[in-house]
Chains A and B, each alone.
Chain A
Amino acid sequence: MTAVPVRPAPTAPSAPTRPGGSPRERRSSRRRWLLTAALTAVAIAVVFPLYWMVVSALTTGGQSQSSEFYLWPDAPTVGNFTEVFATQPVWRWLGNSMLVATVGTALSVCVSLGAGYALAKYRFRGRGLLYALFLVTIMIPIQVTLVPAFLVVARLGLVDSPWAVILPTLFDVVGIFIARQFMLGVPDALIEAARLDGAGELRTFFRVVLPSCGPLVGVLVILGFMNRWNDFLWPLVVLQGNESLTVPVGLSTLTTNPAFSSPWGAVMAVATVAVVPLLVVFLVFQRTFVQGIASTGIK
């Protein structure tokens, strides 16, 4: 159940276990390069829309609406960025997104770890029912519970503070699910041994179980951060004031309004600003992420 380490060195030929002489080996190597070329082509197509977003943000009004085909603007300019940063509190939006995503992810990972541990490693009254109820909630579309949930948050006096965004999203079913899956794989012998050594329940969890959850935490952090950074419908209703918005909500104040048409350059610039930080985080951690997913044993 734990990670089979990713095989290293992509350049190493995979021949040793395979019978057959060198012509076959050559053919397999040629096929590998062909496959790589094909995958690269597909990958370029997959990345293109985001590349195009950046290009559009760097293009002046005239060229981006013309019917000529180009892959790079004639006169790239950061004008769209400087303008939107000058007229909108984009830094604040980024800061708010960062705050909400960081604090929310940190707390929600704790909640998910605890719940996952309890659901995987304890038998207690109501466990099955509770887990089933948890899972059913991912089927409820937010549009239906939006107004009722807002009433709850308003009753708690949280509206217009970052906590209104953070608290209701701490309960993360997918996170709990993944945590439970992973915890199922933590050997019980380990836990038992700790208990026999006299460790209490909490100590067992913090000192014995948690240290083996590194990859799990990695996955939960990446998925949780991504979801929170991109969350839209909920922050849209609970946040107030241009200075308090998150990036996607800020972006929405520039689009989808009937009273004025969206400033296209600004929209593309903000969209770029919304995606790039996440992209960087992901590219840095992608290897850990894939290995983490492997070791959570979602299967």
Chain B
Amino acid sequence: MPTPVAGTGNPVARRLSRRSFLAVAGISVAGALAACSGAPTGTKHLRLSSWNIPLDLESYQAIADEFVAAHPGTSVAVEVTTGQFHQWFITRLAADLAPDIIRITPQQIGRYAANGSLVDLTGAVPAAYQDDWSEPFWAIGAKEDGLFGVFQHTDNFITYYDRRVIEQIGVDVPQSLDEAWHWDEFLEIAREAQRLTGRYGFGYGWGGPETAYRWMPLVYQNGGAFLGEDGMTPSMDTPEAVGALDFGGRWYADGLVSPANMSKSGGGAVGRDLFATGQTGLLLDNPEAIAALDEARPDEWGTTYMIRNDGEASDLGGNALAVTRSSKHPELAAELVAFVTSRTNVAEFCRRGNWLPARSSLDAADIGYQRHESTMQQFIDQASTIPLSMVRAQSGPYFSSLNSVFADYLDLCFLGELTPGECGTQMTEAMRSVTTR
């Protein structure tokens, strides 16, 4: 046992502990200050948050640097949006600490535009901008009470095919949007493809429950709609919508699509992986697949337009830029949004990141894609088929909740747990409980 030196131990220890406590407190103040010191006093500092795609982060930073050069006394930091977007964004907004500018998908923007989390950009964005956006694309940010975001770039779904498989089937590939394969033709080709691959016919480019909406174009291809003309009334129980569910159910009932390739089953880009390894002959997917396919099987694949039925439609991918109410310099932030979405900058951003422009006046040649110009032009052409009513539905205030409902019941229908009719009725009912909340 240690022999205590009477009288000294206690105060020393106490002093020590007080000192270490002060040290902790001191560090924490320093840490807090350091966190705020990103901008020297007097400088207007903006934070732009993007998905963690290295090429895009570079593009944003390059554009931002140009902006800063033209605006002395400002600085811009490009940050990354972490996983679980809503959790991160809601929490940050609640404490008024969200980034100034947020890169946000059309499906996410509606709630925040409706509940006052985003700043109205009317006035800050040149009036002429609207002319270079299609009505659906402009509608993503333009709501009744203001302009809450500018759609920067898009992507959508077209059909990828395995050259060898298509040659063996001996079918002609559509050369224009009008010639796009109708559902029945497509299923027939898919059956042949399945016979040839020995596994599956085709794959679909879902990426998890958050992107269940990527299947919604099928509803519109059949003349149906997710929400009625008012953008509020659930309408998945119409014959057209139920017909689309029936079509989707057949994909799985007939074994044309892998059961792992369903929106709610995890595992990443299953459809793409299967196509890249020759386990399907066709793939409905967005431009992101190109890089993976170039690596896995260069020159063995081709592309054509998205499938169609009575109507045409494709997925609404891409992102808008919006200014959050946390911003201390909303005018400056809005100016940066306008700058990033200028014609030159949109073209440059799309060229580097292989995205599709949100501006109508840009075609593949203007942008100068490094590879696959004709495929990129197909995507750009396909973008014109995205229906306004689908855009309104997906960028509406309740869509995050509605998308969960869509994912739930789509799953149940495709798994055969519900008939298409039951699914339509129950999905509509569940949607109604959201929209009347």
Contacts and interface: CB of A to CB of B under 8 A. Distances in A.
B126 to A, nearest CB: 26
B52 A254 contact: yes
A78 B7 CA distance: 62
Given A107-B24, A258-B207, A249 B82 contact: yes
Interface stretch (B228-236, B269-277, B385-393, B426-434): B269-277
A163 interface: yes
A258 to B, nearest CB: 4
B97 A154 contact: yes
Nearest to B49: A240
Nearest to A258: B210
A249 B88 CA distance: 11
Contact of B82 (A151, A197, A236, A264): A236
Contact of A256 (B54, B210, B319): B210
A203 B277 contact: no
Given A154-B97, A198-B7, A202-B13, A236 B87 contact: yes
B80 A242 contact: yes
Interface stretch (B31-39, B174-182, B339-347): B31-39
Interface residues of A, number: 62
A231 interface: no
A159 B11 CA distance: 35
Contact of B35 (A151, A160, A257, A258): A160
Interface string A155-184: 111111111000100000000000000000
A163 B32 contact: yes
A260 B3 CA distance: 66
Chain A interface helix/strand/loop/mixed: helix
Interface in A246-265: 249, 251-262, 264
A237 B91 contact: yes
Interface string B391-409: 0000000000000000000
B201 to A, nearest CB: 16
B377 interface: no
A211 to B, nearest CB: 8
Given A147-B90, A253-B81, A260-B51, 11 more contacts: A147-B91, A150-B94, A153-B95, A161-B28, A161-B32, A206-B9, A207-B2, A237-B87, A256-B210, A258-B208, A261-B272
16 contacts: A61-B296, A62-B277, A62-B296, A62-B297, A66-B277, A147-B90, A158-B32, A202-B17, A206-B9, A208-B1, A208-B2, A237-B91, A256-B210, A258-B105, A259-B51, A261-B207
Interface of B: 1-4, 6-7, 9-11, 13-14, 17, 24, 27-28, 31-32, 34-36, 47, 51-54, 57, 77, 79-85, 87-88, 90-92, 94-97, 99, 103, 105, 107-108, 199, 207-208, 210-211, 268-269, 272-274, 276-277, 279, 288, 292, 295-297, 317, 319
